[in-house]
Structure 1
Amino acid sequence: MNKYSKLALATAALIGVAGPAAAAKTLLCVWDVAGKTGDVYNAAIDYTVAMQKNGVELELKSYVDERVAVEDYRAGQCDGVMATAFRLKPFNATSTSLDSIGSATVVRNNKVDMPGSYEVVRKVIQAYASPGGAKMMVEGNNEVGGIFPLGAAYPIVRDKNINSVEALSGKKIAAFDYDKAQGVMIQRIGAQPVSVDVTNVGPRFNNGFVDMVTLPAVAYKPLELYKGIGTTGGIGRFPIMIPTVQMVFNRTKFPEGFGEKSRTYWLGQFDHALSLIKKAEAGIPAATWNDLPAESIPKYVLMLREARIAIGNQGLYNKQGLNIIKRARCSVNASDAECATKTEID
């Protein structure tokens, strides 16, 4: 055997040994405000087991900074990412419209119907998980692989006397800098939007840089919001929106048909997500919660609807998404006056 044959054999042997070890793994980057100890990350662990049964091996990478997780996905360092709909809006405008202000809120007899409101969210997720919704879940190489609720986001204030829209005039309200719609809404009510992200929203509220934040109950303990609430603040029992976590993946990195299986899985986790939400809300002291006057609730719902339509007309919300949510809302509460028209926005 000449030296060239020996070299060829050695090279082939090296490739044979190194090849499988060097094979790229399918990496899912997961944001959770509590890191690896949080509910989102734990849900992702269960998801990897379920997808393994469907022939897809996933490796998880934990992120506390949501911005970094999404940027790593954008840069191709992750094959999929789990983050809030606010951050994932550039990848699918339709699915992320579910997080628009007041879009899921159902009111009956001047009271917020929370089970009905969550049913609206469930119906929208069902529509997107169905075969008929598959095309809407794809934009370019990006596909939405699932959605689940984080829980109703409530107004959390340092001073419980801030209990009306009028009282918010001139106050500083936290607005996530990557969701322009929040800033627009805050300015509409005469308040001042203060730019925040998930890494600093807790400290800014707790240290008095803002008077109000809008967050779900699952953020209460990890962000130590009880420090900002103290003895003078509180949480208004009125959902401004129901934010969601969504999973987006690069279609070129997954087998054909993966998206539908993934969306179906997350739809099946909806009731588990609700149980975590209820647990988080029950963990907040009863005295912290404040109920709004019944007569003011329809006024606020109308205010949010008018703002949502105005923001949609500015192009900050996806019109198709808003119309799908309205159909779900009216299927749950058909007697509402808004259901006299089929669409939210033309």
Structure 2
Amino acid sequence: MNHQYDCAVVGGGIMGAATAIQLAKGGMRVLLCEAQQLGMGASGVNAGTLSLQIKRVALMPYALKGHAIWADAGEAVGFKESGGITLAFTQHEAQILEERMTARINAGAPIEMITGAHARELEPHLTERIVSASYCHADGYANSSLTGAYYRRKLADAGVHVLELTTVDEIEPSGDGITLRAGGSVHAARRALLATGAWTKEISARLGVPLPIRVRINTVSVTERMPKLAKNVIGHATGLLTLKQSTNGTVLIGGGWQGTGTPEVGRGQVVAETLTSNLRLAQYALPELVDARIVRCWTGFEANSPDFLPMAGRLPGWDNLFVLCCVRGGYTIGPYMGRLMGDYILGREPELPLFDPIRFVEKHEQASSRSH
């Protein structure tokens, strides 16, 4: 069979785009299909936080590598290494913060524990009710709304054939390759990658390998422009707050508070009760936000696996179909995971281990056998 492409990548978020670029640099002819426009899913609607203080310990080596890639991209993605402070308001929260940050420090993160007084020296507008805090000079953020434009240029430079606004309707084995039916056309490739984020659950089920993917509907808000209130990224020991002030004065507020909706239906909906809780916590940390007006709120779908680690490897039962998805807080590590997956598909040994999806299929089979 005449294969038009060496690899077809389904999904134009950070992970799909980064993988496609790595494959093209390795000499492959690559097709990338994106149902919307590049970076319009989770990659483009998240809060843009690049904080090592909120990364899982097992993913710290990947987060450090990903952070370096964002730093190299610089102004093209609005990267800023502002520093980050995570706050505890009670003794119980202080204990949680100490335990979590100690584990991250041991995993290589440049984090230090500081007093509440020190936190207020760094950020004078913070509340006086801080019991303890942690600080990381490497924390910062990028502008997630620039994701699509940035990767569009990078993909073009790498020679990847990109089809935006093109839904892949069918993925079928065909001889020694894969056939994709997308946008009214048929594309043949030797192999394919699913990098479809929250949509991977439904797609994997259609392919006969239902992956145990959960979907969160995270809420993000932005205020009007305000006087300078914070230089650092501000977080909370529970992980329920991320707050940063952009160079234009607007304050971006997130923290994983949930909206409603499903990926199959479309954009999620903001829930007033959870939005209010998020804003109250932000105001508690930075009291002068009481004067702020919220100008926009939105949601984004975040896929994660039962163990909150990526799914990266061959789709179980397929020889030439791969999957890369499911990283809570994947904005930071996404570019690096794409590089690793690209190397894996190219037949190279990845610099750091991948996360084979077979672990969930094996657990499901073992559970089924025990029930019979």
Which bracket does the TM-score occupy, shorter chain normalised?
A: under 0.3
Richer in strand (by share): 2
TM-score, length basis structure 1 = 0.23
TM-score, length basis structure 2 = 0.22
Richer in helix (by share): 1
Bigger CA radius of gyration: 1
